A and B are shown apart, each in its own frame.
Chain A
């Protein structure tokens, strides 16, 4: 007669759960791959930080000691992130600057719109990219390591690493989409009322346009449905192929119609984390003609 522990282990549901958990652990922290997609995100984040804040942080803008301290930290950290010198440290530094701007300057000192979603997302993305091998490609770190390898007569280090930081970015995006949809899953939003109010605020003023009601209702239901689909569908390759374009179009529309600052661009950049890093590497190789040469030869 089997002991209880064996009986549980033989239960088909338990084996299925065990297999799912094993796949999750593999996916989350055991997968290694090309560092190029992480590097592209690193470079893109540095550019988004500049796009969002560089103008506001020029040295003459706030000449107080704390303002100058923030500006110097911002520019040094983001330049290091962009060129990829001590890339992961630079990513932590940049993320810390972003969170300081969000929490201290935004919430404590009341500087707006530094408390908005786009600011938090940028800061968190910088911190998460620090958990990837983002400095092993397209970076000064890479250049220096190749030079070092040539001097010592060894092969240059592989452009690979553990991708758990990219997995956390995927999780962050899914959490964002899910809770954004969850918050909208109410009569107030699904009836179209909140979309109508947003439209009146930015476009129509206090004159309600004819025909807005049904359009707002359709858009509201579509937005909530799409956000739930993006939350659960984008992480999986089988559903991602159908959701990628709607997701990109969704962010493009938001960017064009509402003042979301860098939010849409950050989301689109972070979509790179959904793709298999080695597949991204192959696409880059093909674009550079490397794969083509190998196929011909």
Chain B
């Protein structure tokens, strides 16, 4: 590479050779820095604020919970439960997005209270993690029991 740099940049006048070489080495140094940032984190697992990793959209949406609720009717059938309707909450309010397990537990508790003594509410929920969806609640048991 050194001889190529000499040949290509050496075509300029003698006074500009050093400037051309300097420019080439600066180019390579800046390029190395550009690549080192993401490579450090994504290849070698080194996390530092000094280097930009370009891991885009990796944190957005983490923790959000996908939840569905069902309630058992007196005839024994399980039917979908509209949590907004049950709690009298607006669809665009705080109840729209459940962001943590604690928040989910709180919603379940409020639904059980609103449904009354002996209610059978089944909850299926999974939480977004960097590795994908993680199941955090199954509908195998009555969420209001215990």
Contacts and interface: CB of A to CB of B under 8 A. Distances in A.
A169 to B, nearest CB: 10
B143 interface: no
A196 B7 CA distance: 54
Contacts of B108: none
B142 interface: no
Main secondary structure of the interface of B (DSSP, over half): mixed
A187 interface: yes
B20 A30 contact: yes
B128 A200 contact: yes
Given A194-B61, A194-B132, A207-B66, 7 more contacts: A162-B23, A175-B38, A176-B54, A193-B133, A197-B133, A200-B97, A202-B61
B27 A168 contact: yes
A25 interface: yes
B12 to A, nearest CB: 8
Interface string B74-105: 00000000000000000000001110000000
Interface string A257-276: 01000000000000000000
A206 B64 contact: yes
Nearest to A185: B42
A198 B60 contact: yes
B102 to A, nearest CB: 14
Given A26-B8, A180-B54, A201-B97, A206 B66 contact: yes
B4 A25 contact: yes
A183 B64 contact: no
Given A28-B24, A188-B131, A200-B97, A179 B62 contact: no
Given A25-B9, A171-B31, A179 B128 contact: no
Contact of B54 (A117, A199, A205): A117
Contacts of B68: 207-208
B65 interface: yes
Interface string A26-51: 10111000000000000000000000
Interface residues of B, number: 42
A212 to B, nearest CB: 10
A29 B30 CA distance: 13
A29 B58 CA distance: 35
A88 interface: no
A197 B64 contact: yes
Given A176-B54, A188-B131, A107 B49 contact: yes
Contacts of A182: 38, 42
A59 B138 CA distance: 54
A29 B23 contact: yes
Max chain B C-beta neighbours (<10 A), residue from A179, A193, A206: A206
A73 interface: no
27 contacts: A22-B4, A25-B8, A25-B24, A29-B20, A117-B52, A117-B54, A162-B23, A168-B30, A171-B31, A175-B54, A176-B54, A179-B54, A182-B42, A183-B53, A183-B55, A183-B56, A194-B58, A194-B61, A196-B66, A196-B128, A197-B60, A197-B64, A201-B64, A201-B97, A206-B96, A207-B66, A207-B96
A172 B50 CA distance: 16
